[in-house]
A and B are shown apart, each in its own frame.
Chain A
Amino acid sequence: MHYTWQWDVFLQTASGRQTYLDWLLSGMWTTVQMGALGWILAFGLGSILGIMRTVPHRFARGIATAYVEAVRSVPLIVQLFLWYYLMPSLLPEGWRTWLFAEPPATTSFVTATLGLGFFTAARVCEQVRAGIESLPRGQLNAALAMGFTLPQAYRYVLLPVAYRVIVAPMTSEMLSIFKNSSIAASVGVLELFARARQLNDYTAHSYESFIAVIACYLLINAAVIALMTLVERRARLPGVMNAR
């Protein structure tokens, strides 16, 4: 099999003043934005839910458990379609008008990022719960016996350790959110995966396009791992065998 590689295809003009390379880079930028914004949402909501799953309140635990079970039992692509097609009609009139007044690309970006964040929150929740539950029960009891209130015990005793225990699983959730963002292409977000299809269709150089897009995904992965290695090094508990 002989194949002549033509990498300079990326420098050709795609539309207007943009080259195919610009398409690739703008796709990568959208993926990075979506992953980062989705992660912020997922981390915040997931932390709240994870704490709710461990507190001694039946009702709070029930809500968080139901949320996790529901989100984990429905494929992400179905959820993104529901966010895209169903969520806007549940919104208050004013918000809906704003959402639909935006360009279509923004509408799908907003709904997909929300969907991605709410999906990943369920997974973050389980990690946070695992982190808290990995601590000996005596920690909470000792804190309460010292006169801490329950929120104080979480804030000053449990969470500072729990979060450090789960840096590694959080890294893999973070890697997943960037990979999962590729599914947003199916509701019209022009991110990296959508650009892969476009490049394939327009340049007719499938191998080059796909290899370039895969390289972009590997790059994002490497960046996330580098970032989390830094976090891990700063957050490592003294005296705990955390070395690999």
Chain B
Amino acid sequence: MLDFDFSTLTPAAIATLASGMLISLQVAGTALAVGLIWGTVLALMRLSRFRLLSLVATVYINLFRSIPLPMVLLSFYLIVPQLLRSLFDSTADTRLLSALVGFALFESAYYAEIMRAGIQSVPKGQLAAAMALGMKPLQAMRLVVLPQAFRKMLPLLLTQLIVLFQDTSLVYVISLTDFFTSAEGMGERDGRIQEMMIVAGAVYFIICFSASRLINRLSAAGRRFS
């Protein structure tokens, strides 16, 4: 019934998986960096007094949060190359680039909601006090409100990073060879798909489980000091 054979897991295969993992990490890292910055900007826009800004941010966030990630990735895979071709006349493989762009813009919507909750959890008096000290609104945001919001939301931001890392496996839909896609490809090729999926699951489990343990410990330590 079950006859597992892990002999296809040669050093060469492991090297392929490792280079896939590098791509996964690259996609996750870019999405994290862009997501934090663009997400914070979106959160500020959403909370802004200017109706137009807050409308644009609200539509952006709600739209991206209602569409499944595979659909977003596929759309960007279709649209980004066309855009590039009309701008730069290039025909290079745009898989990685469109995955990076699509993924980062998608995750920003989720980070924006976390940052919004963080900003809203900072007492109103903090902003008022900063303004009373003569700070301009943007200064008060940058120097007083955002650092507090960021610190408060750190556990959530890190948890979202784990989710984001797991989501990178979905670049499978545009055949970008990240860790999951290379594992799946090798499994299909060697007729050892069951084994490769177990390996992939185990690797994701080890990474994500230890990461979430680490986050729990960090936020417990953070609570003790504050």
Contacts and interface: CB of A to CB of B under 8 A. Distances in A.
B197 A193 contact: no
A74 B204 CA distance: 6
B193 A85 contact: yes
A73 B67 contact: no
A196 B197 contact: no
B180 A74 contact: no
B86 interface: yes
Interface in B146-171: 166-167, 169-170
Given A75-B167, A77-B170, A82-B201, A90 B68 contact: no
Classify chain B's interface size. Answer: 20 to 34
Contact of B74 (A81, A82, A196, A217): A196
A214 B67 contact: yes
A180 interface: yes
Contacts of B200: 78, 81
A227 B75 CA distance: 29
Interface stretch (A6-14, A56-64, A181-189): A181-189
A70 B194 contact: no
Nearest to B208: A73
B107 interface: no
**Max count, chain B CB within 10 A of own CB: residue among A1, A76, A175, A179:** A179
B180 A78 contact: yes
A82 B169 CA distance: 14
B75 A74 contact: no
A26 interface: no
A89 B180 contact: no
A158 to B, nearest CB: 26
A175 B64 CA distance: 13
A77 B194 contact: no
Contact of A69 (B1, B71, B184, B209): B209
Contact of B70 (A81, A193, A206): A193
B205 interface: yes
Given A82-B201, A89-B1, A89-B194, A73 B209 contact: yes
Classify chain A's interface size. Answer: 35 or more
Nearest to B205: A73
Given A75-B167, A77-B180, A214-B67, A82 B204 contact: no
B133 interface: no
Contacts of A86: 194, 197-198
A225 B149 CA distance: 29
A85 B70 contact: no
B71 A214 contact: yes
A182 B193 contact: no
B212 interface: yes
B60 interface: no
A90 B2 contact: yes
A180 B86 contact: no
A182 B66 contact: no
A221 B1 contact: no
B66 A221 contact: yes
Given A89-B2, A183-B170, A200 B78 contact: yes
Given A82-B198, A182-B70, A210-B71, 15 more contacts: A73-B205, A74-B205, A77-B169, A77-B172, A77-B180, A78-B169, A78-B204, A86-B194, A86-B198, A89-B2, A181-B68, A182-B68, A182-B71, A196-B74, A200-B74
Sorted from nearest, which 4 A-B pairs have the closest CB atoms?
Answer: A182-B68, A73-B208, A75-B166, A179-B68
Interface of B: 1-2, 66-71, 74-75, 78, 86, 166-167, 169-170, 172-173, 180, 184, 193-194, 197-198, 200-201, 204-205, 208-209, 212
20 contacts: A1-B86, A69-B209, A72-B208, A73-B204, A73-B205, A74-B204, A75-B170, A76-B166, A77-B172, A77-B180, A78-B204, A85-B197, A89-B1, A90-B2, A175-B66, A182-B69, A200-B78, A217-B67, A218-B66, A218-B67
